[in-house]
Each structure stands twice: as structure tokens, then as C-alpha cells.
A = this chain, B = another copy of it.
Amino acid sequence: MKKIAILTSGGDAPGMNCAIRSVVRVASNNNIEVTGVGYGYQGLIEKDFKKIGPRDVSNIISRGGTILKTARSEDFFKKDIRKKSYENLVTECIEALVVIGGNGSYKGALSLHNDFNLPVVGIPGTIDNDINGTQRTLGFDTALNTAMDAIDKVKDTATSMDRIFLIEVMGRDSGSIAVYASLAGGAEDVIIPQEDKDVGQIIEKIKEARSKGKRSWIIIIAEGAGGADLFAHRFKKFMSDIRITVIGHTQRGGAASVFDRFLGAVMGKEAVDALLRNEKASAIGWLDDRAYSYPLQEAVKPKKEDFTYLLELIKMLT
């Protein structure tokens, strides 16, 4: 193997730059040249290619976002567009593609492989922690810490003013960020897509707690559960003074945490190693404290998440 390409696709996630750096430097150590593709699959189509050497990734480890830029490409779902992309790669003598992104990005990579037999490897770059086959995705830990900081700050006001806050966190269809952020932020309740929650019951709990002297209350809501606005509407039927905070896009930015930088480093290495082992369509996962590679077609399956234990724990810790 002499030349590979790398792209970031979908929403940006903290740690993407660390994975890029790792892929580039580990490849270089194995005498493989790396071509950076700009703006995800769009760059494949438009041939937005640039050579990236080991010194081009200096000092990017602490930067949020992705130096390769990213995009969501609708065009790439069309086979003829993919064909053009593949030909662009062939023209450049690129023998394999590393894709850093989430579920949609993985599906793009798998199509490219299925259609043209191009070796591909996926690194799970998404804050949502919703990729099948890996216990952690790149960016999840940083996003959680950002969410927790915000919760800590809102709690200052909630406590000082005896207020009830509904705080929306990201996570698309997954409740992962919501559940972990609730545990870390010490939230009193959490609403996730995976569980039906009765607003009336929550109100009862709040009223009971208030009668016992506990006057502030924080409820974390996953964006996939319907959103803070919808629930605020429901809550306000019972209780008028609920405040809403939507943490929003800040969760996707910032310097990556130690764990996400570490994950970027080991996953980047594992991605190059997988290609060197001649794997054709792999995803890199984190399992039992180490990076490993597994079939990409496993990775694109829906992740089954069971939060029963943690939801029970949140209840106990209120």
C-alpha cells in the first residue's frame, strides 16, 4: 500500500483532528502517503484533494473541528456520483479510504466498497455515541464534559432561585449524552427517546420534593425525545415557572478531552493497521479498554442501547 485518502464527514466532532494526525503519522511511519479530502464525500466528488504530510498535522491536536472540513453530501447516495468519486481516487492512485464520521458516513463508505471493491475503514467520529460495535465514539466524552459544564452553571441559578430547568442536550436519536450528562450533572430527571415519560408524574415528584424542602430541579432532555420546546409546553400546563436551556452546538466544538485525543490516537493507528492487514471494509471500535477492528457492515446496523441500569441509578441518586 502506497497511498491512502482520508476524509471527515457529517457533523464535526472533537477528536477528529487527533484521528487525522494519527492516521497521517502512522501511515508515514509505514511509508504510506496520505491525501486529505476536503468537505467529506463532496470533496471526493469534486476532487478536493491535498497531500498531508506528518508536519502538516502539527499542533492540531488541541483544535476543535476538522482541518479537512466536513459536509453532508446528498449527492453521494447516487451510484453514478459515487462512480465518479471512485474514479477520482483511482486517477490519484489512491488505494484505500479512511472515513471519520457517524452512521451516514459509514454507509457512504460501505457503498463505495460494495460498488467498487475499494478498501475502506471507518473511525467513529460523532458526539452521539450511537455507532454499533463500539463502546465509545470520538467526541462523546468532550461533548459530555461541555454539557456537564453547562449543567453545573445552570444549577447555580436553579439553586440560587429555586427554579426548575429543562436542559436540552444533543444526541440525535440516542439518549446516550442525556443519560451520562444527567449522571455527571446530578440532574433530577432525564427524558430520552428510548423511554416513555409521563410529564404529570415528573410534576408530582417535583411537588413532593418541594414539600420536603428540595426546591430546585433539573431535567435533562435528549433532542431526540421531542425537544425542550415541546416538553416545556407540556410542563407549563402544570407548572408555569419552568425555564428552558438548549445547550446546542457548543457541544460539538472545543478542544478534545484527554480521552477523545487518546481515542483519536489509538483508533487512527488501528485504522492504518487494518488496511495493512488487508482488511477490506472495517470499522474501528473501542471495546474493553482497547481499539479493535470489526466488519463495517456490523457497524452500520442500529445500536441497541439499554439504559435501564443507568436510569435506575439516576432515580436512586436524586
User: Chain A: residues with CB nearer than 8 A to chain B?
Assistant: 8, 11-12, 14, 21-22, 25-26, 29, 39, 55, 58-59, 61-66, 69-71, 135, 141, 144-146, 148-150, 152-157, 159-162, 165, 180-181, 183-186, 213-214, 243-255, 257-259, 261-262, 265-266, 269, 287-289, 313, 316-318
Q: A186-B61, A243-B249 are in contact. Are A26 and B157 (CB under 8 A)?
A: no
Q: Which residue of chain B is the closest to A265 with respect to CB atoms?
A: B183
**Sample of 9 further A-B pairs with CB below 8 A, known A183-B265, A245-B248, A246-B248:** A12-B157, A55-B214, A59-B155, A70-B161, A149-B250, A153-B251, A153-B253, A157-B253, A259-B259
CB pair A289 B135 closer than 8 Å: yes
- The 8 A-B pairs of least Cβ separation, nearest first, read A153-B253, A64-B156, A156-B253, A65-B160, A65-B156, A12-B160, A184-B261, A184-B258
Are A25 and B148 interface neighbours, CB within 8 A?
no
Given A156-B65, A160-B69, A313:B252 Cβ within 8 A:
no
Q: In terms of DSSP, what is the predominant structure of the interface of chain A?
A: helix
Across the interface, do B214 and A257 meet the contact criterion of CB distance under 8 Å? no
Q: Are A249 and B313 in contact (CB under 8 A)?
A: no
Is the pair A261, B183 in contact by a Cβ cutoff of 8 Å?
yes
Q: Which residue of B lies closest to A269 (CB)?
A: B313
Residues of chain B contacted by A71 (CB below 8 angstroms): 161-162
Assuming the contacts A12-B156, A162-B69, A214-B55, asked whether A148 and B250 have C-beta atoms less than 8 A apart, the reply is no
B254 touching A257, Cβ below 8 Å: no
Contact in complex: B261, A65 (CB < 8 Å): no
Alpha-carbon gap, A265 to B70, bound state (A): 31
B258 touches A181 (CB 8 A): yes
Cβ-defined partner of A64 (8 Å) among B153, B269, B316? B153
Question: Of B150, B160, B180, B214, which is within 8 A of A250 by CB?
Answer: B150
| A25 CB, min distance to chain B CBs, angstroms | 5
Chain B's closest residue to A261 (CB) is B184
Closest Cβ neighbor of A26 among chain B residues = B316
B contact residues around A25 at 8 Å (CB): 316-318
**When the two chains form their complex, are residues B165 and A249 in contact, meaning their CB atoms are under 8 A apart?**
yes
How far is it, in angstroms, between the C-alpha of A135 and the C-alpha of B262 when the chains are bound? 15
Assess whether B262 is in contact with A154, with CB atoms less than 8 Å apart: no
CA distance A144 to B162 in the complex (A): 24
> Closest CB of chain B to A251's CB: distance in Å?
8
Give the contacting residue for A153; candidates B146, B259, B313; CB below 8 A. B146
Report the separation of the CA atoms of residues A11 and B157 in the bound assembly, to the nearest whole angstrom.
Answer: 8
Name the B residues within 8 Å of A146 (CB-CB): 153
